[in-house]
Amino acid sequence: MQKPFSDGALLRMGWKQAINNLGFFILLFLVMLGVALVPMIIFALSIKDYPVVAWSAYAIYILVALLMGVGTIKISLSIIDGEKPKISDLFLHADKFLTFLGISILYAIIVFVGFLLFIIPGVIWMTKFFLAPYYAVDKGLNPIEALKASSAATMGMKWDILAFYIVAEIVITLGFFALGIGAFVSVPTGMIAMAGLYRLMDGGSIKAK
């Protein structure tokens, strides 16, 4: 099967779009940080004397983080499709939340079991179902449908996807070494490149200019 994507081309595209939308991403990450900090501050201040309040705040943090996970995928896909990203997309897709939660749980279990089976199955299943969250957010598939769609799309491409994922994670990590400031570019670069990978693996095209 012919590889439908180029690691370098995807990362260059992601870098270009991250630079073009740098102001947007700085604001986006500040909003995400602010939203996440509130329940975590409550957790830190109440864990000793009010554990019920603390763990309730932590549960809220997890739920909000998952909701923002849906939003960041939507934002990345909108950029790939040549649309103007919006901060509101971070929270306006709550209808996909339960599906995203289900996929997150299933994916974690599958990969965990795979790694228990001498690591290699975990790596294979990690890449096999890597695109499932994108199918859920983009096409509204339920968790099982999204996992099946990802399995079909990645057929014969698992090691290529793993190689791309490793390179993308290296790029993201390098951004944090630049006093953390570089993460404002490296993280969006990885986000957009991965969304581009999904779009190409699904047979679509990248419309970002």
Interval 80-101: pLDDT, tens? 999 999 999 888 888 888 898 8
Residue 164 lies in a domain: yes
Please report whether residue 3 resides in a domain. no
Q: Has residue 13 been placed in a domain?
A: no
Per-residue pLDDT of the chain (209 residues; tens, 9 = 90+): 567 788 889 999 999 999 999 999 999 999 999 998 999 999 888 888 888 999 999 999 999 999 999 999 999 999 999 999 999 988 888 888 889 889 999 999 998 998 888 788 888 888 999 999 999 999 989 999 999 999 999 988 888 989 998 999 888 888 877 666 788 899 999 999 999 999 999 988 898 87
Structural domains of the chain, count: 1
Domain assignment present for 6: no
Q: Roughly what angle, to the nearest 10 degrees, separates helices 120-128 and 97-116?
A: 160
pLDDT tens by residue, 15-32: 999 999 999 999 999 999
User: What does the pLDDT read at residue 1?
Assistant: 59
**Per-residue model confidence (pLDDT) at position 180:** 64
Residue 92 belongs to some domain of the structure = yes
- 63 in a structural domain: yes
In a domain, 17, yes or no: no
Domain hosting residue 188, numbered range: 24-201
pTM of the model: 0.88
16: in domain? no
pLDDT at 116: 86
pLDDT of 10? 93
